Chains A and B, each alone.
Chain A
Amino acid sequence: MTALALQLELLTTHYNYYAVMLLLGIGLYTLVESPNLLKKVIGMNIFQTGIFLFFVTLAYRTGGNPPIVTDGGGPYVSPLPHVLILTAIVVGVSLTAVALALIVRIYSEYGTLDEERLEELYYD
């Protein structure tokens, strides 16, 4: 197979990575651009989901079996990234919980979640 054909094949088969890039992009854009604090947290979650998908995709190998050693038949997909991401999801949930708790407190005090309005109130 020529180098060009190999590159073409990489581009057409690794569509999971497109999804990763899309999620990272959407997440980061929402996080930076949205003036609404709640939407920022949603953006943060989408960004993290992109990373989770990246890890899980890394573990995949074509024709790999689930990593349960019963019949002795390899090759297996790597179980390690799944375990890592299980941990990272727990971290993500805790972060979201803390962020939402803070948002509840901010809203009950200021009555707004708009970043620019808050900035005005904040420096009073």
Chain B
Amino acid sequence: MKPLLEIADLGVAFRTSSSLIHAVVDVSLTVSAGERVGVIGESGSGKSVMARAIMRLDDPRRTQYATSSRITLDGRQILALPEREVHRLRGDAVSMIFQNPMHSLNPAFTVGQQMDAVLKAHRKLPGRDRRARIVDALGAVDLPAPGDLVDRYPHELSGGQRQRVMVAQAILCEPSLIIADEPTSALDVTAQDTVLDVLERLSRDKAIAVLMITHDMGVVARFCETVNVMYGGRLVETGPVGDIFAAPRHPYTAALLAATPNPAAPARTLHPIPGTQTTRRGSASTACAFIARCPHATTLCKQAPALRQIRANHRVACHYAEELDLKAAG
């Protein structure tokens, strides 16, 4: 089956006055229809840049895509499309949910006015039908009294409610893909739970694929079927969530898991990853991105490892993927 979204060899760099910053290097991943895929990594790993590239949201005057990059959505070459056509896809075939619901809604307009503008941009419907559809969408994300909510202003809603409004707005035009860029990071635990529940149910019921960008292993564990681990702008490990959580094969993935609290084993000591991720200026480095912080690094690691298959659907970019005893390291 052809995947819904296929990202191949994506490279994204930003021009600054003095240099070129390589935010994403050679990333390839696929999302099938209705699939829930996670992208995890710490701040600066390039995960959000990759997400924005799918919708081509970055300023074209300072963003440079590597020539070999391809992003194929439903057969359309996103990076080759004229801006007008990409614009038509935004909010229609693909929609996006952002991190901070407190700032994602326009304070000067009611929930209904904002959602109506989205619907109007993509569908020719009479006003009454649009309103009915908006109320339906608000109901679908479990918001109480959706008929009243339409006429409320954002400041009258809680953070969790606002994020559910964002989800409702995202599903208005029945997209085939929702890109969720850290949708729960700014919410308290209860609100996180509700938003993830709603997203998961919508994904199942309406066969909407979700690309979940997060730094939280807990979100990946409960929400995603497949996970892509990014570090330093590169993909370091990808595979089914169950496999990777049970047996991570990249030292970074293992380190991330060791740094994540596990409610099942509260007594376990957490291990932070030493050092910090570095920005890649000038030409892309040829060494493994994790070399500086990896406890297992050798001279061989000065040559970047390719992403290679070690099991069905499980790929790792580490020279020692088969040999390392990573559970012990975790």
- The answer to whether A and B come from one shared complex is no
List the interface of chain A (C-beta within 8 A of B).
Answer: none
Q: Which residues of B contact A (CB under 8 A)?
A: none
